[in-house]
């Protein structure tokens, strides 16, 4: 049976999107290939038609998740305050499977090797770069500003902590503190 042009790319994208969601929800080691393929509506046997290894898929999923966050919370035309309001929202805290891969899996990512570790590093640098661009929209440099490092660290930390605590009021305070951390950055 012959498939229409672009079919293989569409299936691969579906697998990557499913992996990005499931990995953020359950952790890098929390999802098997067979579970992932079943969730994507495919058979386990078809996996190797699209990927040489699980690591190749995980790296692609991390990249796709980072791109989705870039286009969403950190998209063009949004101010730092708008981006932080979205990034540090209760909805984002409640749904890591739909959000930032750095906040959802950063600790898992630091334990990985090879292409997967590299994908996490790119995602983290990309997040820091987005913050830097919001802070300094007229000044593109290769070196990330100290302000961007502080705001990014505070935002990711606030989101991770809000997910960890078992007190909804404290979680809201953490998210608010993270949003406020971007407001006191001196304008340059």
User: Are 97 and 25 contacting, i.e. CB atoms less than 8 angstroms apart?
Assistant: yes
pTM across the whole model: 0.89
pLDDT for 173: 97
Domain 7-183 sits in CATH at 1.10.357.10
Percent of the chain whose predicted confidence (pLDDT) is above 70: 95
The residues, any chain, with a CB within 8 Å of residue 48's CB and separated by 6 or more, are: none
List the structure tokens of 146: 């100290």
Average pLDDT over every residue of 86-101: 96
The pLDDT, as a whole number, for residue 104 is 97
pLDDT at 141: 74
pLDDT digit string, tens, across residues 135-180 = 998 877 789 999 999 999 999 999 999 999 999 999 999 999 999 9
Give the model's confidence band at 93: pLDDT under 50 very low, under 70 low, under 90 confident, else very high.
very high
**What is the DSSP annotation of 12-28?**
HHHHHHHHHHHHHHH-T
């Amino acid at each position: 049976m012959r498939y229409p042009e672009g079919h293989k790319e569409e299936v691969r994208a579906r697998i990557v999107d499913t992996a990005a969601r499931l990995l953020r929800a359950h952790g890098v080691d929390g999802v098997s290939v067979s579970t992932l393929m079943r969730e994507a509506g495919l058979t386990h046997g078809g996996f190797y038609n699209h990927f040489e290894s699980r690591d190749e898929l995980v790296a692609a999923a991390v990249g796709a998740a980072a791109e989705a966050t870039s286009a969403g919370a950190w998209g063009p035309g949004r101010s730092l305050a708008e981006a932080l309001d979205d990034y540090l929202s209760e909805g984002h805290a409640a749904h890591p499977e739909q959000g930032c891969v750095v906040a959802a899996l950063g600790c898992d990512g630091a334990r990985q090797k090879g292409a997967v570790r590299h994908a996490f590093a790119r995602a983290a640098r990309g997040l820091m770069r987005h913050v830097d661009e919001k802070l300094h929209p007229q000044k593109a440099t290769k070196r990330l500003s100290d302000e961007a490092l502080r705001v990014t660290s505070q935002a990711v930390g606030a989101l991770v902590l809000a997910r960890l605590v078992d007190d909804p009021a404290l979680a809201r305070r953490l998210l608010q503190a993270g949003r406020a951390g971007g407001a006191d950055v001196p304008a340059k």
